Amino acid sequence: MADSIIQLSNHVANQIAAGEVVARPASVVKELVENSVDAGAVTVTVLVKDAGRTLIQVIDDGKGMSEEDAKMCFSRHATSKISSADDLLSLVTKGFRGEALSSISAISQVELKTCEEGAEMGVKVQISGEEFKENEPIACSVGTSFAVKNLFFNVPARRNFLKSDQVELRHIVDEFQRVAMAHPNISFRLNSNGNDLFNLKPGSLRKRVVAIFGAKYDERLVPVDEETDVVKISGFVGKPAFARRTRGEQFLFVNGRFIKHPLMHRAIMIAFEGVLTPGSFPLYTVFLEVDPSKIDVNIHPTKVEAKFEEDQIIFAMLRSAIKRGLGKHNVAPSLNFEQELSISIPLISEGAILTEPKVNVNKDYNPFETSMSPKSSGFSGFSTFSKGSEKELDDLYGMLDNKMSEPSQSLEVSLGEELEGGLELTTDKVFQVNSRLIAVVRNEGVVVVNVKRAHERILYEGYILAGRGGGTIVSQRLLFPESVNLAKADTNLLLEASDILELFGLELSESESGEVEVLAVPSGLAGRLQDCLDSVLSALQDGTWADEEGKREQLAKVWAEAGAVNRSVAMTPEEMVDLVQRLFSCELPAVDASGRVAYTVFSSDFIETKFK
């Protein structure tokens, strides 16, 4: 039998390695910019075309390379960062494996121009798919310029898996921001298709954060500072009042390296407990400095994960430092044992008239009158139930929310046919349960409708119809344009999607200062504008806007969730009848825009079983 195991060629091995290191254009930007930082650059410029597909160029004024180093750097596992395995215990640089340039050159066309300090001439190297094309002396300034062209030109399958330019550019911006945030002393510039997205000057960390996210962020930052023998903690967290519905603005660095660490993220979130609205995510830019011998960053090809030797101790210190920072700036409650605990009684001014305190008593109160009696509840046959027993109502809501079975087919058809036939519901057949549910009494049983979910389904199908040209969305023009402060990358994403947003009633423009200005909003959404924008940005960033239909569905869902009535709202009988009729006129009345049950049915037989 012939041998079946063979050794892969260097070319195939490098292409496989490239799949680990270079996932998308943003990976190339990350590797090249980190190399510039390691080279001691003071100024780094990043130029991209077509979101990195056509060109990624990184220019720095670092120490440069010699002619021999310029050729050697493209060899696999060629590095200047380490010489033995022991060096892994004291890493202070970004890269160290020597895989990046080898992997990049295997799947692109690379042009390198570099000159080291003191050299009379620089060197130019051209390589395409690992094949050296040119190597010649050239006159250039001290530093290095990498131009990566036609990424994945020889691996078309990988190129086809790239997302839209918007999504890929967003990933490039994310990687750029992470490196720029970690090195506020270095000047960084990012240019896309001839337009500067960022032009960051050297300065303090606070200035760097404000330069990236916008001037209004200056007032939102709370400094964090703690130093112990185990870890030094510094940076900023955002005030809870400015937390957003998306996770985007969260940065954790260890020894200047951006990492993702669920345990440390959890420590930060726990520190915000009690002062943060559920479902919101705060801004944070936190730096940890740890002894390099007590941390391992060599556990993932992209080096965005790390292991701590003393993770539980660092967890506790990080949580405590952030709580203390919030307390010092009066954001969270903080105990001060040095504060005077005596009661402060204000002095009475001379000539002031003192009045005797009065106690108001309801003389008509009768403790023996039940809360469900007609006199106390105002129940007149259909309007509302009173609060009654809190536990009983909670049990009822829990039962209704958990009843995920399909509605009774016979009752659903009966009610639907009556509505389609023009038979209107009468106000004496509908009533509310604590302003959250509507009960429709039919001969066959009771239909219980969730008010918020029903309204959400109605709005969702209305927006879908309008997006397809079958209706119009009422837009409310603002008297004065409202400025929305967003990061530069988010601003560009919104402006690029302005055409589809305008179809749904949201009209945007760019101010002279580069901020997004809202000129008109869909009717009823003015108070939820920030949440709507956050949801739209989240969809833009994760690439779910794959086509026009996908965009319409995403926007319809966002607008419907934001515009639906509050979960607890009192309605008149006429409003209840109108809501139920509009719900059963929808194509899919059984669920809301998120797929949750909008109504359920209790048949007469089911109700009878509760009295046996």
Q: What is the pLDDT of residues 551-576, one digit of tens each?
A: 778 778 878 887 788 767 788 888 88
Does the pLDDT at position 286 exceed 60? yes
Which CATH number covers residue 528?
3.30.1370.100
pLDDT for 377: 33
Q: Which residues are bridge partners to 250 per DSSP?
A: 284
pTM of the model: 0.68
Instruction: Say if 222 falls within a structural domain.
Output: yes
**How far is it, in rounded angstroms, from Cα 137 to Cα 119?**
11
Candidates 472, 462, 466, 442; CA nearest to 587 is 462
Q: Which pLDDT value is given to residue 472? A: 65
Buried b (16+ CB within 10 A) or exposed e, 213-245: bbeebeebbbebeeeeebbebbbbbbbbebbbb
**Contact call for residues 407 and 590 (beta carbons, < 8 A):** yes
Q: Is 460 helix (H, G, I), strand (E, B) or coil?
A: helix
Could you list the residue range(s) of the whole structural domain that residue 267 is in? 205-328
Residues 236 and 186 in one domain: no
Q: Are residues 155 and 293 in the same domain?
A: no
- Residues, the chain, total? 612
In a domain, 341, yes or no: no
With beta carbons less than 8 A apart as the criterion, state whether 477 and 605 touch. no
Looking at the fold, whether 284 and 382 belong to one and the same domain comes out as no
Q: In this structure, are residues 29 and 191 in contact, taking their beta carbons and an 8 Å threshold? A: no
More confident call, 439 vs 331: 439
Q: Is residue 336 part of a domain?
A: no
pLDDT exceeds 60 at position 483:
yes
Over residues 141-192, the pLDDT tens digits come to: 999 999 999 999 888 888 888 888 878 888 899 899 999 999 999 999 999 9
Distance in angstroms (rounded) separating the CA atoms of residues 588 and 282: 37
d(C-alpha 610, C-alpha 605), whole Å: 9
Q: Give the amino acid at 329.
A: H
410 with 534, same domain: the answer is yes
Q: Is the pLDDT of residue 2 over 80?
A: no
Cβ atoms of residues 602 and 437 within 8 Å: no
- For the record, the structure tokens of 422 come out as 């023009």
pLDDT digits (tens, 9 = 90+) for 385-405: 333 444 444 554 455 455 444
- The domain total for the chain is 3
CATH for 120: 3.30.565.10
The answer to whether residue 51 is domain-embedded is yes
- Arithmetic mean of pLDDT, 79-104: 60
Q: Provide the CATH number for the domain around residue 248.
A: 3.30.230.10
pLDDT at 375: 35
Asked if residue 338 is part of any domain, the answer here is no
**Which runs of E-coded beta strand occur in 206-249?**
221-227, 231-238
Token digits for 150? 């036609």
User: Is 392 in the same domain as 317?
Assistant: no
The three-state secondary structure class of 443 is coil
End position of a domain, from candidates 163, 179, 200: 200
Distances in Å between the alpha carbon of 1 and those of 4, 8, 198, 603?
Answer: 9, 21, 62, 71
- Report the Cα–Cα distance between both ends of the chain, in Å, rounded: 77
User: In terms of DSSP H, where are the helices of 390-528?
Assistant: 390-402, 409-420, 451-467, 488-496, 498-503
Calculate mean pLDDT across residues 426-447: 81
**Cα separations in angstroms, 508 against 311, 472, 516, 562, 593:** 46, 18, 7, 18, 25
Examine the domain organization and report whether 72 and 162 are in the same domain.
yes
- 591 φ, ψ (degrees, to nearest 5): -135, 160
Instruction: Encode pLDDT of 304-313 as tens digits.
Output: 778 888 889 9
Residue finishing a domain among 271, 302, 328: 328
Domain identity same for 167 and 55: yes
Residue ranges of alpha helices (H) inside 509-602 are: 529-542, 548-563, 573-583
Residues 177 and 220 in one domain: no
Q: Do both 498 and 473 map to the same domain?
A: yes
Name the DSSP letter for residue 281: B
Residues 410-431: tens digit of each pLDDT: 455 455 555 544 445 777 778 8
Average pLDDT over residues 323-344: 61
**Alpha-carbon span 104 to 15, nearest angstrom:** 9
Hey, is 202 helix, strand or coil?
Answer: coil
Of 200, 218, 241, the position where a domain reaches its end is 200
- Examine the domain organization and report whether 220 and 157 are in the same domain: no
Residue 2 corresponds to which tokens in the numbers above? 């012939």
- Asked whether residue 2 is assigned to any structural domain, the reply reads no
The verdict on residue 359 lying in a domain is no
CA distance 506 to 533: 10
Domain contains 1? no
- 396 and 475 housed in the same domain: yes
Residues 411 and 296 in one domain: no
